[in-house]
Amino acid sequence: MSEKPHVSKKHPRAESIKIRERLTRNVETNVLALAGLIAHGRGEAFDYILGEETTPSAFKAITAAAATILLAERPVLSVNGNVAALCAEELVELSKATGAKLEVNLFHRLSGREEAIEGVLREAGADEVLGVGGSATARIDEVFSDRRRVDPRGIYAADVVFVPLEDGDRTEGLVRAGKRVVTVDLNPMSRTAQFASVTIVDNVVRALPLLVSEAERLKGSGRVELQGIVDEFDNREALSDAMTVMEKRLHTLAEKGIFIEPYDV
């Protein structure tokens, strides 16, 4: 086990360091792929530029995401190592609030990882976890990585798939296969962010609790109201807003050059 460094609560990056420690521990338990650490670093860089808070347009996307999942007939929440490490409880809560199934689907299908992730989800309260071991027997031809192997009861049959913190081509493949895709991605320029039906440009750590409470709030609503929310949402606008927030923030900071205040030790 790696040693845990002492980090003062007053450290200005204490939260971010705690999350990194959690991810590192999850590499040791086989939940997180090593590449997951690199993916997180990329996300953090975008979060820094975004201002590390949920923007109003990300919140709109969260509401549209909740409505999309609630409207689905066969929704599935796809779980990889990073989201399992960061938000297992919220994924289980979202699954219970919406009736969506949980399926492990990995880019790096290394031995023991699916079972390790299943363990984390079950510990967080999941009753059923699809996609583990021999159960990923179906194949989505439109997807070009190992992620094409899916559970026939889950992603294969799904009409809506939630794929938070995702890599490259899969979203495109799922959309080509006729599914609606909801994602959370801090990089509004990624292929996933660009091809999804609903992209929440936010950190999963902030977005998932909000998504659960929006799903809880909306679950008693009628289909017409939910459909209205979905129809009103425009992903192009959401991505454009996220990029504009980043551009404006960089512009404001660029005018100052030095903007960080020293902190009291």
Does 25 sit near ligand PTJ (CB under 6 A)?
A: no
Q: What is the CA radius of gyration of the chain?
A: 18
Which lies closer to ligand PTJ via its Cβ, residue 40 or residue 179? 40
Q: Report the residue closest to ligand PTJ, judged by CB.
A: 43
Please name which of 75, 64, 112, 69 lies closest in space to residue 231, comparing C-alpha atoms: 64
Residues 16, 23, 26, 46: which binds ligand PTJ (CB under 6 A)? 46
Which lies closer to ligand PTJ via its Cβ, residue 101 or residue 170? 170
Which lies closer to ligand PTJ via its Cβ, residue 116 or residue 253? 116
Pick the piece of the chain touching ligand PTJ (CB under 6 A) from 58-66, 100-108, 130-138, 248-256.
Answer: 100-108
Minimum distance from residue 231 beta carbon to ligand PTJ (Å): 26
Pick the piece of the chain touching ligand PTJ (CB under 6 A) from 68-76, 103-111, 135-143, 174-182.
Answer: 103-111
3-state DSSP: the chain helix, strand, coil percent, rounded to 5? 55, 10, 35
Please name which of 152, 103, 160, 100 lies closest in space to residue 130, comparing C-alpha atoms: 103
> Nearest 5 degrees, angle CA 120-CA 98-CA 146?
50
Q: What count of Cα atoms within 13 Å lies in the side-chain half-sphere of residue 144?
A: 4
Alpha helix positions (H), 33-125: 34-50, 56-71, 81-98, 113-123
Please name which of 36, 30, 23 lies closest in space to residue 167, comparing C-alpha atoms: 36
Does 59 sit near ligand PTJ (CB under 6 A)?
A: no
Minimum distance from residue 117 beta carbon to ligand PTJ (Å): 8
Does 241 sit near ligand PTJ (CB under 6 A)?
A: no
State how far the alpha carbon of 196 is from the alpha carbons of 161, 170, 199, 242, in Å.
10, 10, 6, 15
Residues 128-187 that bind ligand PTJ (CB under 6 A): 165-168, 184-187
Minimum distance from residue 226 beta carbon to ligand PTJ (Å): 25
- Secondary structure class of 77 (helix, strand, coil): strand
Which lies closer to ligand PTJ via its Cβ, residue 40 or residue 153? 40
Minimum distance from residue 16 beta carbon to ligand PTJ (Å): 10
Q: Report the C-alpha gap between 25 and 102 in whole angstroms.
A: 23
Which lies closer to ligand PTJ via its Cβ, residue 150 or residue 226? 150
List residues binding ligand PTJ (CB under 6 A): 33, 35-36, 39-40, 42-43, 46, 80-82, 106-108, 165-168, 184-187, 190, 203-205
